[in-house]
């Protein structure tokens, strides 16, 4: 480091905890990320190499240091719409995170903010006993705050409030211009005033980084479907995560009659009149529904519904995507997350959204007769005699929870099918 870089300009600010700290000129360097075990940056990158990755949307990390002491990192992966700022404590443990999602060319949204409070200097980073606060913000300004005053092993307190959505947007930083982003985070965590940061480039001009499998972090990736076609191929064998072997059977569940062509998936036991349809509409009409069942090899009488398929076109599927409602943006999803339909009565169904109001009333009146004897491998049809519209209900795999629906598209981009995935086979190993 040059003598000029080593000269630090300091400004005293007060944190939310009442501590006075000295904020210096920040030295900027680039790397693959932060090694929590070694408490150091790894995989140095030259500024030119990092800028190239920025242009290509590939991941890299910005390291900000006060003299020789790391104080923050910025993880960037524009292909995944992701940018996260991490701030360290005096023991080089990550204490604050602000997670942004790039939802427009020049704007990004603060989707999550997290804080860890460590009990003593010896406590490990992200220790399960650390006191945590997690804030999740939706695009309409709804904010959910989750507090764990005894860490992950203790209780959870959840509060909700509203904020101005516009206050949660920030400008996407131009490469190298990190000051505004860091100052935004300083303000967000409670400093009386954002420090006047002066940034200097201290990157390794020879740094080439690491191979992809050596990098210490990866951006969050939403849930992707397991191979779905084999789930509907009779005779396909799987080994479940706990070791049981099962074989696939299929069963026709009837035909879904849609008056509007706006399909939805829901729990028929809690069907709302205003159930939101998927954004992918199809022509009004009648479409077959098929169940994928698994039979346990050691218990031949034990079957479970693994998935239900609503076929729109009997054509090969070229690609799969998550079915979304109009208010859902998949770029906001975290690692392994998905948007799906909730189940609280052990059942799912396909239904035309336009017919949901009438069908909800019919279900309420006939619930016991319609569903009381529903077995773990059967389907039930409920119809509206006035319009002919119906719903096709089926058991939801292992029971209550939340389940995704996948849209299969043809090579021309047309909707071929919808698959309600009960996640029974998501982590299973296909044997044949």
Joined tokens for residue 150: 């005894």
Q: Return averaged pLDDT per consecutive 10 residues of the chain, 432 residues in all.
A: 26 42 72 95 97 98 90 96 95 95 96 95 94 95 96 94 94 92 76 63 94 96 97 98 96 96 96 94 97 96 96 97 96 96 95 96 89 79 95 94 98 98 97 92
Burial status of residue 150 (CB atoms within 10 A of its CB: 0-12, 13-18, 19 or more) = middle
Q: Are 413 and 312 spatial neighbours (Cβ–Cβ below 8 Å)?
A: no
Joined tokens for residue 245: 């072997």
pTM, whole model, 2 decimals?
Answer: 0.87
Joined tokens for residue 45: 């990158």
Residue 227 DSSP label = P
Residue 275 DSSP label = P
Q: How confident is the model over 289-318, as pLDDT tens digits? A: 999 999 999 999 999 999 999 999 999 999
In whole angstroms, give the CA distance from residue 160 to residue 135: 10
Tell which residue, 13, 14, 16, has the closest CA to residue 133.
16
In whole angstroms, give the CA distance from residue 335 to residue 353: 29
- 175 φ/ψ angles, rounded to the nearest 5 degrees: -50, 130
Q: In a 3-state reduction of DSSP, which class is residue 268?
A: helix
Joined tokens for residue 311: 């076929």
Q: What's the residue count for the chain?
A: 432
Residue with tokens 């995944």, as numbered in its chain? 80
Q: Which residues pair with 157 in a beta bridge?
A: 147
Joined tokens for residue 63: 């390291």
Q: In a 3-state reduction of DSSP, which class is residue 168?
A: helix
Q: How confident is the model over 4-52, as pLDDT tens digits? A: 222 222 333 344 444 444 445 779 999 999 999 999 999 999 999 999 9
Residue with tokens 């017919």, as numbered in its chain? 355
In whole angstroms, give the CA distance from residue 172 to residue 154: 37
């Amino acid at each position: 480091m040059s003598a000029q870089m080593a000269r630090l300009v300091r400004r005293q600010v007060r944190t939310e905890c009442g501590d006075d700290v000295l904020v210096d000129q920040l030295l900027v360097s680039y790397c693959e990320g932060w090694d929590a075990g070694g408490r150091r940056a790894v995989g140095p990158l030259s500024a030119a190499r990092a800028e190239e990755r920025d242009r290509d949307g590939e991941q890299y990390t910005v390291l900000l240091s006060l003299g020789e002491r790391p104080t923050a990192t910025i993880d960037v992966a524009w292909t995944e719409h992701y940018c996260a700022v991490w701030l360290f404590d005096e023991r080089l443990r990550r204490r604050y995170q602000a997670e942004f999602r790039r939802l427009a060319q020049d704007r990004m949204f603060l989707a999550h903010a997290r804080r860890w409070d460590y009990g003593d200097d010896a406590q490990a980073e992200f220790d399960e006993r650390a006191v945590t606060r997690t804030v999740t913000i939706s695009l309409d300004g709804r904010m959910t705050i989750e507090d764990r005053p005894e860490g992950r092993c203790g209780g959870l307190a959840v509060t909700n409030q509203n904020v101005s959505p516009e206050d949660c947007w920030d400008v996407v930083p131009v490469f190298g211009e990190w000051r505004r982003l860091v100052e935004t985070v300083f303000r967000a965590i409670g400093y009386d005033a954002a420090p006047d940061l002066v940034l200097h480039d201290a990157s390794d001009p020879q740094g080439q980084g690491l191979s992809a499998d050596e990098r210490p972090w990866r951006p969050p990736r939403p849930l992707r479907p397991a191979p779905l076609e084999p789930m509907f191929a009779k005779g396909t064998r799987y080994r479940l995560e706990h070791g049981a072997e099962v074989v696939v059977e299929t069963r026709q569940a009837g035909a879904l009659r849609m008056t509007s062509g706006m399909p939805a998936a829901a729990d028929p036991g809690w069907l709302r009149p205003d159930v939101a349809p998927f954004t992918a509409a199809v022509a009004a009409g009648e479409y077959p529904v098929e169940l994928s069942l698994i039979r346990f090899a050691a218990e031949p009488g034990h079957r479970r519904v693994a998935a239900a398929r609503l076929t729109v076109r009997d054509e090969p599927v070229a690609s799969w995507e998550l079915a979304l409602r109009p208010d859902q943006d998949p770029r906001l999803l975290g690692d392994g997350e998905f948007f799906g339909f909730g189940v609280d009565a052990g059942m799912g169904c396909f239904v035309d959204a336009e017919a949901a109001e009438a069908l909800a009333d019919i279900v309420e009146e006939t619930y016991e007769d319609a569903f009381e004897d529903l077995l773990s491998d059967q389907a039930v049809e409920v119809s509206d005699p006035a319009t002919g519209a119906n719903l096709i209900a089926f058991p939801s795999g292992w029971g209550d929870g939340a389940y995704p629906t996948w849209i299969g598209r043809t090579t021309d981009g047309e909707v071929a099918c919808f698959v309600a995935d009960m996640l029974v086979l998501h982590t299973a190993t296909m044997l044949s």
